[in-house]
Amino acid sequence: MLALIWQLVFRRRMSYWATKPTEGILKLKLFYLIAIAALLAVGSYFLADMGSKPQAELDVSRMRTTANDTFVVSVEPENREIKLGELHSWLLTVKTPDGAPVEDASFVIGGGMPDHNHGLPTSPQVTDNLGDGRYRIEGVKFSMTGWWELSVDITSASGSDSVTFNMVL
Amino acid sequence: MSCNRLSSIACLLMMLGALTGCGQEFSDDQKAVIASLSLAALPALPPDPSNRFADDPAAAALGATLFFDQRMSRDGDVSCATCHLVDRQFQDDLPRARAVGVNNRRTMPLAGTGRSPWLFWDGRRDSVWAQALTPLEDPVEHAGTRAGYAHAVAEHFGDRYQRIFGALPDLSAVPARAGPRGTAEEAAAWQAMNLGQRQEIDRVFANLGKALGAFVRSIEPTETRFDRFAAVLAANERPEGDAALTPDEIAGLKLFIGKANCATCHNGPRLTDDGFHNTGIPVVPGLPDDLGRQTGVQQAAADPFNCLGAFSDADPQECGELRFRVKDGPQLLRAYKTPSLRGAATRPPYMHAGQLGTLEEVVDHYARAPAAPSGESELHPLTLSERERQQLIAFLRTL
């Protein structure tokens, strides 16, 4: 596309130069202006495109080790699709680093949007111990697109530790 | 200038247009956001499990009658429609509502409120039917009492009520005026009634709310120029007639979903996240302290007509918004509900007590992002040129 623009400008420039020098210079300026505008436009288009994904470098993995390596925790939404603004639940699996399920854990769920200086719009809670180290978190809601954190504080006979998951909607 | 030259310039401009504006004006990401704001993205009206009459046409019809009936007030001079004017998007254009007295808050429009998990600016009720009961007993709104309303229903709407809700209780021993939120005499009369009587009156009162709720939830947002534009954009067609937005309106739309960050909270087809935010709105001098959501969430939890209450038809499992509400924390202080922006341009003044008179003042407030009177504003200052402000406002007028 850029090449095409330059080719057009160049071709027109030559033809004007050959016929009417003074008018040609004016037109030349006009075409340069257009060409510069085109370059700026193309540049800003690509810049804008790059700027729309600022969270690309975030670690959004759904399985993480807690801060002090006490537990390995994974999360998944109970239903595959997460709809903005709708209450939904997540399934949480807690294991020790050697893979044994942690079945006696209690939890405090938190989180929010670091970029917007606010917490979660709801107070999710673990409402079910499903056995085998699996638990259900109810009452999760994401009310806007962007970078969300979901933090899980875990207490069990193995100790207390916490982990934060990143979600990008 | 020759035709040839003209067409060359036109061709160049078209190519530019293809890259930056005119033809392909929006990236795929932007198109997805625009589609998400359009009325076409509005899901079917969700059920209200707390009101088993929510979708009963007879209940909605009775609710419509009650909505416009001034006998539903202490002195027979106030109805819901006194402040929720049917030809004004069901609001009153005033900074603060005026009925029996002057309210501390602005009347909210009603379109789409049946979809809100929390009602009022501070979300102090959790359903549209529980909301409808509150002004009926507010001393500065309808100023009536629930015993008084039970008598009024028996007298004027007895047959219609009983066809929907079943038999009315015997009201012969019920005082003409008695209710927990009334005057000292009315509250004393309420306390003097026995528990069974009070429960019977509460049931009639709740049913009035359910009829009003059935009507109010039928008031839905309507298609605007923006929706017609979005539909054409989604179909990859060229907008025509009033579906074609002007260059300023398009620039405003891009600001709305981009640099100005409006669509962060004003998202989805109703242009609200249904959440509560402190945006540093100034205090109205002379009014009592207003803590916003901090007080509202406690009132919703204490409301006997909430989703978990005795008069709700919902299973507790269906009361997720109430069960998993944020109960406390600094973010609730002076946080108010994100209002829908549909139709907002034609209903000044703005904010929970009409503090800002014009859209220009609103945009200026968001650009300046002043410190909150108390709590912490979520806003960040924003540099917007005069031209950009006008473009943003031009876009708001399409909603």
The pLDDT tens digits of the residues spanning A75-131 come to 999 988 888 899 999 999 999 999 999 999 999 999 999 888 789 999 999 999 999
Find tokens 């934060």 and name the residue: A164
Q: At what angle do helices B128-137 and B146-165 cross, to 10 degrees?
A: 140
Q: Is the pLDDT of residue B302 over 60?
A: yes
Residue B12 to residue A145, Cβ atoms within 8 A: no
CA B289 to each of CA B100, B104, B198, B311: distance values in angstroms, whole numbers, following the listed order: 22, 10, 32, 32
Q: Where are the beta strands (DSSP E) in chain A?
A: 63-65, 72-77, 88-95, 106-113, 118-119, 125-131, 134-140, 147-156, 159-168
> How many contacts, defined by CB atoms under 8 Å, are there between A and B?
85
Residue A141 CB neighbours (<10 A): 22
**Chain center to CA of B41:** 18
Instruction: State phi, psi for A20 to the nearest 5 degrees.
Output: -125, 100
Most B CBs within 10 A among A83, A128, A144, hence the mutation to make, goes to A144
CB proximity B330 to A under 8 Å = no
For residues A35-58, average pLDDT: 50
CA B331 to each of CA A121, B204, B375: distance values in angstroms, whole numbers, following the listed order: 10, 37, 7
Tell me: the pLDDT tens digits for A24-46?
Answer: 444 545 555 555 555 555 444 44
Q: Which of A160, A144, A150, A1 is nearest to A70 (CA)?
A: A160
**Chain center to CA of A41:** 26
Q: Is the pLDDT of residue B37 over 90?
A: yes
Distance CA A90, CA A110 (A): 13
The tally of CA atoms less than 13 A away on the side-chain side of residue B197 is 16
* pLDDT band (50, 70, 90) for residue B63: very high
Q: Are B99 and B76 a contacting pair, CB within 8 Å?
A: no
Q: Is the pLDDT of residue B164 over 80?
A: yes
Q: Are B93 and B115 a contacting pair, CB within 8 Å?
A: no
Q: Is the pLDDT of residue B352 over 60?
A: yes
Residues of B in contact with A12 (CB under 8 A): 5, 8
Residue A121 to residue B323, Cβ atoms within 8 A: no
Closest residue on chain A to B325 (Cα): A122
Cβ neighbours of residue B289 under 8 Å, at least 6 residues apart? none
CB proximity B28 to A under 8 Å = no
Residues of A in contact with B11 (CB under 8 A): 8
Distance CA B97, CA B2 (A): 65
Distance CA A159, CA B259 (A): 45
Tokens read off for A59: 């670690």
CA A31 to each of CA A12, A16, B19: distance values in angstroms, whole numbers, following the listed order: 8, 11, 17
Instruction: State phi, psi for A54 to the nearest 5 degrees.
Output: -70, -15
Give residue B283's pLDDT.
97
Q: Longest C-alpha distance within chain B, in Å?
A: 95
* pLDDT band (50, 70, 90) for residue B24: low
Q: Are B19 and A1 a contacting pair, CB within 8 Å?
A: yes
Note the helical H segments in B21-176. Answer: 28-37, 57-67, 80-83, 128-137, 146-165
End-to-end CA distance of chain A: 33
Residue B324 to residue A138, Cβ atoms within 8 A: yes
Mean of the per-residue pLDDT values of chain B: 94
Note the helical H segments in chain A. Answer: 2-19, 21-51
Give residue A47's pLDDT.
40
Q: Which residue has the higher pLDDT, B197 or A23?
A: B197
CB proximity B2 to A under 8 Å = no
CA B30 to each of CA B25, B27, B60, B267, B399: distance values in angstroms, whole numbers, following the listed order: 9, 5, 39, 13, 17
Residue B371 CB neighbours (<10 A): 10
Q: Which residue has the higher pLDDT, A48 or B80?
A: B80
Cβ neighbours of residue B205 under 8 Å, at least 6 residues apart? B133, B136, B146, B149, B150
* pLDDT band (50, 70, 90) for residue B9: low
Q: Which of B347, B379, B391 is nearest to B106 (CA)?
A: B347
CA B3 to each of CA A34, B8, B30: distance values in angstroms, whole numbers, following the listed order: 18, 8, 36
Question: Out of B12, B264, B273, whose CB is closest to A5?
Answer: B12
The pTM assigned to this predicted structure is 0.85
Q: Are B262 and B74 a contacting pair, CB within 8 Å?
A: no
The tally of CA atoms less than 13 A away on the side-chain side of residue A156 is 18
Give residue A30's pLDDT.
52
Tell me: the pLDDT tens digits for B184-233?
Answer: 999 999 999 999 999 999 999 999 999 999 999 999 999 999 999 999 99
Q: Are B145 and B137 a contacting pair, CB within 8 Å?
A: yes
Q: Which residue has the higher pLDDT, A57 or B2?
A: A57
Q: Is the pLDDT of residue A53 over 50?
A: no
Question: Out of A8, A119, A124, whose CB is closest to B324?
Answer: A124
Residue A1 to residue B15, Cβ atoms within 8 A: yes
Q: Which of B313, B291, B290, B292 is nearest to B127 (CA)?
A: B313
Q: Are B296 and B122 a contacting pair, CB within 8 Å?
A: yes
CA B121 to each of CA B104, B108, B187, B394: distance values in angstroms, whole numbers, following the listed order: 11, 8, 27, 26
Distance CA A88, CA B314 (A): 18
Distance CA B130, CA B310 (A): 12
